[in-house]
Amino acid sequence: MAQTTSPRSYPRPNRSTGHPRAPGPDAGARSSGAIDWRRVAQQLNDLGYAVVPDLLMPAACQSMVALYDDEARFRSRVVMARHNFGSGEYKYFAYPLPRPVAELRATLYPPLAAVANDWHEMLALSSRFPTTHGEYLKRCRDAGQTRPTPLLLRYGAGDYNCLHQDLYGEQVFPIQATVLLSAPGRDFTGGEFVLMELRPRMQSRAEVVPLAQGQAVLFAVNQRPVRGARGPYRVTMRHGVSRVRSGHRMTLGLIFHDAR
């Protein structure tokens, strides 16, 4: 398996657990569920994705799902079939973001920025990402990207999401997150999260990532480095959702760059 280097810096550990601090209760995270960022970074480097268990508690997932019918929370609604994106729909949150969404975005960003900076170094890209999400959002605003990108996605039976990339302008943070809000087997069947890796001069590779309610998958938005025999090379990533066979599936998407 091709591997890349591990990031060099991580957030300050929680003294009681030895792990970096997870989002607090206001973000809807389990207070005891500290994230092992070294494991996450290694999986992102090796596979292009990593699963974070129990990022949100079931009650927090239900509260997030309930926001979908509050139109005042959102700036736009997209029916996927109208744009040949797939089948189903999603809504982009408006600013100000709901507090749990804003806090998750701000808390997950710093350790992911360390991974992203390592990726840029490997790919000989000169740009580096700042240490806080607030600083990065200022960079987005300066580039004319002012519209928030976190979103809720809703799928019913027969719905799916075509393979795609979430690119909204010049500024692209190379890692994003999807949190499964519904419970597989109870709320829906099917609807697997799918990643496609397009490798130069090789056949593409697909991966299905199983998720439980409250788990998040962190994954490459567009391109990531892989270390080959002659040095690092780029692979292109796309993601989507397979057809939902029954029930309803809802997810929270956390994209760290804003849109034009």
In a domain, 86, yes or no: yes
pLDDT of residue 28: 56
End-to-end CA distance of the chain: 38
What would the two tokens of residue 141 be?
A: 């605003």
In a domain, 19, yes or no: no
Of all helices (H) and strands (E), which one includes residue 175? strand 175-180
Residue 86 · residue 50 · CB < 8 Å: no
CA angle 45, 195, 5 (to 5 degrees): 5
Domain interval for residue 71: 25-254
Section 213-238 average pLDDT: 92
Bridge partners of 20, per DSSP, are 13
Least confident window among 4-13, 61-70, 137-146, 179-188: 4-13
- CA 241 distance to own-chain centroid: 14
What would the two tokens of residue 225 be?
A: 């480095």
pLDDT of residue 202: 79
For residue range 183-223, list pLDDT tens digits in order: 999 999 999 999 999 887 778 889 999 999 999 999 999 99
> Which CATH number does the domain housing residue 108 bear?
2.60.120.620
In a domain, 17, yes or no: no
Of 38, 39, 34, nearest in space to 16 by CA: 34
d(CA 89, CA 82): 10
Residue 180, SS3? strand
d(CA 149, CA 76): 10
pLDDT of residue 19: 34
Of all helices (H) and strands (E), which one includes residue 153? strand 151-155
pLDDT of residue 8: 40
What would the two tokens of residue 105 be?
A: 């975005």
d(CA 230, CA 156): 46
Confidence grade of residue 2 (pLDDT, cut at 50, 70, 90):
very low
Section 48-69 average pLDDT: 96
In a domain, 163, yes or no: yes
Section 9-15 average pLDDT: 38
pTM given for the model: 0.87
In a domain, 202, yes or no: yes
Query: If you average pLDDT over every residue of the chain, what do you get?
Result: 88
pLDDT at 10 over 60: no
Cα within 13 Å of Cα(223), Cβ side: 12
Q: What is the CA radius of gyration of the chain?
A: 18
In a domain, 204, yes or no: yes
When divided into structural domains, the chain yields a total of 1
- CA 181 distance to own-chain centroid: 13
In a domain, 15, yes or no: no
Helix 37-47 / helix 99-122 crossing angle, nearest 10 deg: 50
In a domain, 12, yes or no: no
> H helices within the chain, ranges in order?
37-47, 58-66, 99-122, 133-142
d(CA 249, CA 246): 9
Cα within 13 Å of Cα(216), Cβ side: 28
